[in-house]
Structure 1
Amino acid sequence: MKKRYLGVALAATLLLSGCSVIDLISGAVPSQSTSPTPTAEPEVETPAEDWPVSLTKTEAGERYLQIVCQRNDAIGRWDAASQELADLINAGQEPLSDQVTAVANSARDVFLSTEWEIALLSDERYVWPDVVEAEIMTIIDSNERLLPTLQTEMNARTVDELYASVYPEYTAEERAASREVRLKLDIPADAVSSCIGYETDAESLYVELQQHLRDTQ
């Protein structure tokens, strides 16, 4: 699989300490014990994990669902909000700002989950089975082409701004790619029922990927 560069970085790091926040601000330190300082034990270096991992057909099917289902869920909410807005306009009613905001917010969720999906499908630690490698690359490419449209919609504040978004023209190969992956990996064709239980996995996997990238810099 051709090399991909991940352009999205997670910007939050949590630091845990034995002192409270108030102690740190006031300059206080924990009370000192008169016990002798214990001898520091030598650090044991954790052996590097063996990458890349060639996924079996079963493993690939499981990982594929973990990656794509959160985006599928977000797309469902985006479609519902967009359809509600379109129904109002077609009925000759003036949409409320809250309804435009609902479409913009759901587009933002799709934008984020699309970026996660691109990064995770491109993760070079995992090698997809040859039988779906071409389709995985096609999905990555088509997702990348959708990002500008999503960015326009997530920043929209009016109906006119929403409808200024331009959707890419997808080829027959692009439209069939996800269906072919499911078929070749023996994943059920129903994208709703097969995703039950996987609705939040992509975000967790993305956080883990970003931690790995920081650790290996």
Structure 2
Amino acid sequence: MRLTSIAALGIISVAMLAGCAATTPSQPVKAEPATTSSPLPTPTIDPGPVTLTTDEASDRYLGIVCQRNGVIAQMNEAFSVQEETYLNSGEADASAVKVAAIEVLRVNSMQIALFDDPYYTWPEGLIVHLKNIRDASMTQSSMFDSIANASSYEAAYYMTAPETPEATTSAQEIRYQLQLSPDTTASCQGYETATDTLHAEMLERTEYLATFAEED
């Protein structure tokens, strides 16, 4: 009798469990949200190339050449301060000359980089003349480097670079075409540090636009 009751209870228990399993509702499968790609950001500056107007080209040209003119004048002045001492067989100090030459070399390198910048399109007729000035700056780089590393005032004093008459002619032609004053001192007022500014802008712009090129 006990066995039968136990067996009966077992059957009831199984039936109850089976009933519970049968009545448990199945969980609905949630659909994954559709993924949409975000649109690529648009550069906030013109990706270029940018065509310069005559006025813009004039301003940019002065910004590229004036600071170099200024630091070369400072180097020449440093030479002049010690020149009489040297010519009279005195002990001329080359320290100021060498410091000035280091700055000339730095600005000269920035000028070359700015002339090489493909972001801007210059007015027609200027390219060959700009290249002549750029190439002259490249040629003179070795002279500035030699002055900066000269062992004495005498060694620095006799450093020379190849003549570049094409660059001189081209500089005059550029000023004529851009309607700039032939007075290089007066026309450069206000541009004493412009090369630093333009070079920093170029580096920032190039780095910024490169991020969009990588995303493409």
TM norm structure 1? 0.73
Question: 1:52 corresponds to which residue?
Answer: 49
> What are the equivalent positions in structure 2 for 1:89-168 lying under 5 Å apart?
89-96=86-93, 100-163=94-157, 165-168=159-162
Q: Percent same amino acid at aligned positions?
A: 30
Q: Distance in 1 between matches of 2:206 and 2:149?
A: 29
Q: Distance in 2 between matches of 1:43 and 1:197?
A: 43
After superposition, what is the alpha-carbon deviation per residue over 1:133-169, rounded to whole angstroms, capped at 9, x for unaligned?
A: 1110100111000001101111224124324634122
After superposition, what is the alpha-carbon deviation per residue over 1:19-61, rounded to whole angstroms, capped at 9, x for unaligned?
A: xxxxxxxxxxxxxxxxxxxxxxx89823362401111111100
After superposition, what is the alpha-carbon deviation per residue over 1:147-201, rounded to whole angstroms, capped at 9, x for unaligned?
A: 011011112241243246341222x322222111111100111111111111111
Q: Distance in 1 between matches of 2:111 and 2:69?
A: 10
Counterpart residue identity of residue 195, structure 1: C
Q: 1:76 is matched with which residue: 73, 77, 81? A: 73
Q: In the superposition, relative to structure 1, how do residues 164 and 173 fare at CA in structure 2: closer, same or farther (>3 Å)?
A: closer
Counterpart residue identity of residue 189, structure 2: I
Long gaps (5+) in structure 1: 1-41
Number of corresponding residues: 172
Counterpart residue identity of residue 46, structure 1: T
> What are the equivalent positions in structure 2 for 1:11-50 lying under 5 Å apart?
45-47=41-43, 49-50=46-47
Q: 2:193 is matched with which residue: 200, 204, 209? A: 200
Q: 2:177 is matched with which residue: 179, 184, 200? A: 184
Long gaps (5+) in structure 2: 1-37, 212-216
Larger Rg: 2
Q: Distance in 1 between matches of 2:181 and 2:157?
A: 34
After superposition, what is the alpha-carbon deviation per residue over 1:86-107, rounded to whole angstroms, capped at 9, x for unaligned?
A: 22212332213xxx01111111
Q: Distance in 2 between matches of 1:214 and 1:164?
A: 41
Runs of 4+ with >6 A deviation = none
Question: 1:39 corresponds to which residue?
Answer: none
Q: Distance in 1 between matches of 2:167 and 2:148?
A: 24
Q: Distance in 2 between matches of 1:85 and 1:179?
A: 32
Structure with the higher fraction of residues in helix conformation? 2
Counterpart residue identity of residue 117, structure 2: D
**Residues 101 and 157 in structure 1, CA contact (< 8 A), matched pair in contact too:** no
After superposition, what is the alpha-carbon deviation per residue over 1:67-117, rounded to whole angstroms, capped at 9, x for unaligned?
A: 111111101101111122222212332213xxx011111111111111111
Q: Pairwise CA RMSD of aligned residues?
A: 2.0
Counterpart residue identity of residue 104, structure 1: K
